[in-house]
Amino acid sequence: MIIAIAVFLILYCCYPDTEQDNARYILSAISQGLAAILALVFTITLVVSQMTRRYTAMDKIIFRPETIILMSIFGIGVVTPLLVLKFGFWGWGVNFSIAIASFCVFSLLPFLKGVNRVLKYEIGVENLLEESMKAINLGDEAGTDGRIGELTEIGKGAVKESCERVVVKIIRYLSQIGKKSAEKGWGNATFWVVDTLKDIGVDSVGRRFEEASFFAATGLNDIGVAAAKNRLKSVLLEPSAVAIAGLKDIGSKAAEKGLKKWDITIRAAEGLRDIGMQLEDKYLAINGLWCLGAFVKEYIPDLFDDVIKNLKEIEEVIGRDLLMAYEKGCISDHPNLNSALEEFKRRYNEG
């Protein structure tokens, strides 16, 4: 719109009148050119709608407000030069026609970008969930891995574009796929899901997407527990270990940023407790809880009791001596929190 207004003002000020023969040629070319572009845009959107294999694709792509508005402006751009030719408004009429043509041409980029967003975030995500579940039911782990990779790429793109609603949807779908994969005993597929949830969850906390961060922690909890129960292994790291690392990072970063609305840090602490209870070696889970305790003491003291409660439940299983020994090195990357950890330990011992 800015470009179109600028073009009109420049033409109106610098070239207020256009020689009639030149004006006829310009107006004729504009009308034909915009009509051809309009047909091309309509064809592209129609083909994209058919590719989605969904009955609602026409509503989401062709009949969405952005498409209707753009095609209406294209229609005005096609008809206006013809009216100028008919009534002979050679002055402002030619310049106005060129300005509308400029708007139509430059608006194609945001329009196609919007079509791509609908195709990826509204239709593509739904298709990938259906295909993943179908692959799981058929026992096709390789096919599931491929769909997980595509969802990962779309999810990370949604975080960068600040589409929290889409991020929440992808996190919930990945959680479903990860839990089903863990129940199937697929270590590699489960690993890729928890690794993706960890990355998207941490990035969501960084952008203050509290709902997305909460569901990422919930998904890591559910998948981590299932992976720990089935003792899943993968070609890289154990899925349960990755889930623990993700919960620790999400919970500590949420505390550091003071995110309290969705109780993200509490959800992370509960997840560390639940996964730890299922593992024979509880070191990583307990170490993560001590780390959360230090962050809570430093940034959200109101949550002291919640972290202590989760540690107490594990203490009943392994004993106080082992529990206290597992805090070693939990904040090695955050030396500024040493005093906070000591204070948290003191409060824990008093409890």
Mean pLDDT of the region 328-349 = 85
3 state DSSP class of 331? coil
CA atoms within 13 A on the CB side of 200: 38
Reply yes or no on whether the pLDDT at 20 is more than 90.
no
Q: By residue range, what is the domain housing residue 88? A: 2-106
Model confidence at 250: pLDDT above 90: yes
Q: Among residues of the chain, what percentage have pLDDT more than 90?
A: 31
Residue 51 lies in a domain: yes
Residues 195 and 77 reside in one and the same domain:
no
List the structure tokens of 1.
């719109």
Whole-angstrom Cα distance, residue 264 to residue 245? 15
Percent above pLDDT 70 for the chain: 95
Q: Are residues 266 and 186 part of one domain?
A: yes
**d(C-alpha 71, C-alpha 67), whole Å:** 6
**Is 118 a member of any domain?**
no
Residue 262 lies in a domain: yes
Residue 269's pLDDT is 93
Note the pLDDT tens digit of each residue in 99-112: 888 888 888 888 88
Name residues whose C-beta falls within 8 Å of residue 326's C-beta, 6 or more positions apart in sequence: 282, 283, 286, 287, 290
Asked if 179 and 270 sit in the same domain, the reply is yes
Which pLDDT does position 236 carry in this prediction? 75
Q: Do 136 and 97 belong to one domain?
A: no
For residue 91, is pLDDT > 80?
no
Q: Rg of the chain's alpha carbons, rounded to an integer?
A: 29
Name the residue with higher pLDDT: 89 or 66. 66
Does residue 188 sit in the same domain as residue 292? yes
Which runs of consecutive H residues, i.e. helices, occur in 62-186?
65-87, 92-106, 108-117, 125-137, 141-160, 164-184
Q: How do residues 160-192 score in pLDDT, each as one tens digit?
A: 888 889 999 999 999 999 999 998 888 899 999
To which residue do tokens 């195709």 refer?
Answer: 119
What is the pLDDT, as a whole number, of residue 25? Answer: 82
Higher-pLDDT residue of 216 and 322 is: 216
Give domain status of residue 137, yes or no: yes
On whether both 15 and 97 belong to a single domain, the answer is yes
- Amino acid 49: pLDDT: 74
229 shares its domain with 285 = yes
Task: Out of 79, 106, 133, pick the residue that ends a domain.
Answer: 106
> For position 18, what pLDDT does the model report?
64
**Token representation of residue 349:** 């011992």
Q: Is 234 left (phi over 0), alpha (psi -120 to 50) or beta?
A: beta
* Domain presence at residue 267: yes
Condensed to tens digits (0 to 9), the pLDDT of residues 309-320 reads: 998 999 888 888
Q: Which of 50, 78, 106 represents a domain boundary (last residue)?
A: 106
> Does 112 fall in a domain?
no
Give domain status of residue 34, yes or no: yes
Q: Say if residue 96 is in the same domain as residue 141.
A: no
Domain count along the chain: 2
Q: Which of 53, 78, 106 is the last residue of a domain?
A: 106
47 or 284: which leads in pLDDT: 284
Q: What is the mean pLDDT of residues 48-57?
A: 70
pLDDT at 351: 64
| One domain for residues 48 and 93 | yes
pLDDT for 337 equals: 86
Which residue type occupies 282? K
Residues 21 and 148 in one domain: no
Tokens of 304: 């002291």
Residues 133 and 266 in one domain: yes
- Residue 141 and residue 70 share a domain: no
pLDDT-based confidence at residue 230 (cuts at 50, 70, 90): confident
Residue 111 falls inside a structural domain: no
Q: CA 306, CA 271: separation in Å to the nearest integer?
A: 12
- pTM tops 0.85: no
CB 80 within 8 A of CB 34: no
